[in-house]
Structure 1
Amino acid sequence: MLIRRFIWSALIICVLYVIIHQFLLQIPANGDWQYNLGMLVQALSLSYIAAFLFFIVHNYYPYLSTKKKYQPVIDRELNDLWEICKDLTTNMSTHSNVRVTDFESEKLKLSVAKLFRNLPVNLKDDVNGENLDSKDTTGQKVYPFPRDEEFDEKNKPLKIRGLNFDKWSEAIEYVNSNISRTLNKVLKLKDVVEEETILKIFDMEKSIADFGMIAKIYEGSNNKTFANEYLEQQFIKFYEGIEELRKYNKRYKDPSKYKY
């Protein structure tokens, strides 16, 4: 923003000087050096104006044309990613009973730490290995009911964009694959995507990959919660990325309010 103001301010100064200089030429100079200095400044001003017009015609106008063409596609892709990531964090809030709503730095840090320290690792007992020889309190054998795959699928504890998952590691793998796929698409259009957005998605990809790695380890070792200081610090970036993507969700839902 500061550089843009400088560029436009310099253009206005150059245009004004060229106009004023035409009147100054009507006044005899006290010395050759004054005349030569005035002509030098005018030449520099005209060069700057010419360079600015060249930039507008050959760079800026094609950029705006490309942005207008691809912005709806970018909005759609990043809106889809926002919804997937939002579903994941909604599941996390539901199972930890911690809502992350304040994105002010210190409050966000405390909320994310509290969330992971309350987030259970194992959400559902695995009935696949149920012991057929188990007995109830009367000594009678207890046999499991036949499994209903359709019922199990509908009652998996994690749901993201219509897909159900039993474990955090499975849900995270799905989210991670979508982040990576979207990032690849965005990088192909990096000339018309905000640099801040690309950097935030990079941070999200690293955060979710770390979460996935820790989830697999904790699920295998039967940890109770995801309390992990490193993960708590890293996942702050994931929430910041979701907040960055929110503006694409708003623009996708109501494009009439935005000019491309």
Structure 2
Amino acid sequence: MRVFISALIICVLYVILHQYLLQIPANENWQYNLGMLFQGLSLSYIAAFVFYLVHNYYPYLRTKKKYELVINRELNDLWEMCNNLTYAMKHHSKVNVYDSLPYKFNELVPKQLQNLPVCLGEKKFPESIDINDLKSHSLPPDEEFNKKNKSLIIIEIGFDKWSEALEYVNSNISSTLNKILKLKDLIDEQTILKIFDLEKSVNDFKIVAKIYEEANYETFENGYLERQLVKFYEGIEELKKYQIKHIDSINKKS
């Protein structure tokens, strides 16, 4: 857009300058004709730019403002769900990927998977959760968490296995992705690409979880899964900006 605006400024300046140049007699006819040619091209570009603003850009801004709250809400909900999953991974592995800034996903994700147990038996289920242990990136656990006989809680729904929780998260990512693709012209391309990576990483995690659970593996140590989980965390960071926008919009209303 900046390039087009710069070209518009140049065209407007030339049109103004040409009015003064017309007062100076041209030495040759080709000089006059060349000046009139550039004058015509400049006026055509200005007219085209105004047409674009009226028929394309202004309707786009109006539509974006109309659906922005919906987009922010949907992506905020997706962030909350994925963030619940990261909290569960942190809680059972005892490794916080959001340990410090800047985030060292490439270093901490492999460590988290190496310590993340595949099977979540009753002995591994904690008696209590220290709320003070939560970071700014983690949602507070459900108030009834300790009373539920489930090892994994995703948006107040309990699961006994990673594969079950990941199936639930993956289905919601796919549903959200289908919604925002209908509004792809109103969303940053980077965000859409990150959600695609998010969907693939969770789906791969789900497949590995099913295989490892059936084979009774102890942890999720897996080189390929490590690379996919890095993309998973990067996708969550992309969604976090929409969570911030959603909170800001709620605060403005209140």
Of residues 212, 216, 228, the one that matches 2:222 is 228
**Corresponding position: 1:245 with 2:242:** no
Q: Distance in 2 between matches of 1:237 and 1:116?
A: 14
Alignment: residue pair count: 231
Q: Give the SS at the match of 2:27.
A: coil
Q: Distance in 2 between matches of 1:209 and 1:76?
A: 23
**Corresponding position: 1:85 with 2:79:** no
Unaligned runs of 5+ in 2: 124-144
Match of 1:147 in 2: none
Kindly report which structure 2 residues correspond to 1:128-139, keeping only aligned pairs within 5 A, or say none. none
Q: Distance in 1 between matches of 2:238 and 2:31?
A: 54
Of residues 141, 155, 159, the one that matches 1:165 is 159
Deviation for aligned residue 1:158: 0.7
Larger C-alpha radius of gyration, 1 or 2?
A: 1
Match of 1:62 in 2: 59
Match of 1:74 in 2: 71
**Corresponding position: 1:199 with 2:196:** no
Q: Give the SS at the match of 1:164.
A: strand
**Corresponding position: 1:42 with 2:36:** no
Q: Distance in 1 between matches of 2:205 and 2:227?
A: 11
Match of 1:146 in 2: none
Deviation for aligned residue 1:234: 1.1
Match of 1:100 in 2: 97
Q: Aligned letter for 2:195?
A: I
Match of 2:176 in 1: 182
Match of 1:26 in 2: 23
Q: Give the SS at the match of 2:185.
A: coil
Once the two structures are superposed, what CA deviation does each residue of 1:115-147 show, in whole Å capped at 9, x if it has no partner?
111110011159xxxxxxxxxxxxxxxxxxxxx
Deviation for aligned residue 1:51: 1.2
Given the superposition, is the C-alpha separation of residues 125 and 226 from structure 1 closer, same or farther in structure 2, using an over 3 Å criterion? same
Q: Distance in 2 between matches of 1:9 and 1:22?
A: 21
Q: Aligned letter for 2:8?
A: L
Deviation for aligned residue 1:100: 1.2
Deviation for aligned residue 1:84: 0.1
Are the aligned partners of 1:103 and 1:240 in contact in 2 as well (CA < 8 Å)?
no
Match of 1:6 in 2: 3
Q: Distance in 2 between matches of 1:172 and 1:104?
A: 27
Q: Distance in 1 between matches of 2:61 and 2:156?
A: 36
Q: Give the SS at the match of 1:204.
A: helix
Q: TM-score, normalised by structure 2?
A: 0.86
Task: Give identity over the alignment, percent.
Answer: 64
Match of 1:215 in 2: 209
Are the aligned partners of 1:82 and 1:249 in contact in 2 as well (CA < 8 Å)?
yes
Match of 1:148 in 2: none
